[in-house]
A and B are shown apart, each in its own frame.
Chain A
């Protein structure tokens, strides 16, 4: 069975500081990993995904994520946080053998303070 965990319900960071939102996964085979962001009363916006190749993936709005196979992690990072980055972030995983079974983590609320 596949699963994804976001160990932090809430992350607080000061504007201008680097931010990290953590994600770990459990899946058989090589996973496909995704990050989405959700602003209040809105749908999910795609940020980035890891399929294969370079472990460092760059995405929208200056976000990047690093795939670490040995630690089964896919942490989301940004070098300098903005107040407007405050939102709910979801990590999601798909196994390579099932094209529609996407599982989301519980979500991490990021708050960036001025």
Chain B
């Protein structure tokens, strides 16, 4: 089973709201990723967790706060977002995060609209 699940599927929030995106996988993977994808553009890496520790933060604004409570779960906490943050947020996982030949498996994404 190569399934990564994400909730919610859609989210609408105001600029003063606080919300969270959730990602889950049960493949025993120890690396998990958040990507942001704007319409008709490729995904852009935001964060990487390896063995529940944040290993990469691609200069993402602090209004995005990732959390990895355990090896199966990845959250993205959102606070005081801007309309330009509206995008599809994709979660992915891979086996260990050590090796460049690892395949990343993606979830269906959460489509976020910031009003």
Taking the closest CB of chain B, its distance from the CB of A17, in whole angstroms, is 25
CB distance from A109 to the nearest CB of B (A): 8
Interface size class of A (residues with CB under 8 A): 20 to 34
- Interface residue tally on B, bucketed by range: 20 to 34
Name A92's closest neighbour in chain B (CB-CB).
Answer: B42
In the complex, are the beta carbons of A43 and B108 less than 8 A apart? yes
Prevailing SS type, chain A contact patch = loop
CB distance from A12 to the nearest CB of B (A): 17
Distance, CA A94 to CA B102, complexed state (A)? 10
Residues of chain B within 8 A (CB-CB) of A70 are none
| In contact, A96 and B100 (Cβ under 8 angstroms) | yes
Known: A44-B90, A100-B48. A90 touches B42 (CB 8 A): yes
What are 14 sample pairs from A and B whose C-beta atoms fall under 8 A apart? Answer: A32-B100, A36-B106, A41-B109, A43-B107, A44-B106, A46-B104, A46-B105, A96-B100, A99-B99, A99-B100, A100-B45, A100-B56, A104-B43, A105-B42
Q: Give the interface of B toward A (CB within 8 A).
A: 2, 4, 6, 31, 33, 40-43, 45, 48, 50, 55-56, 90, 92, 97-109, 111
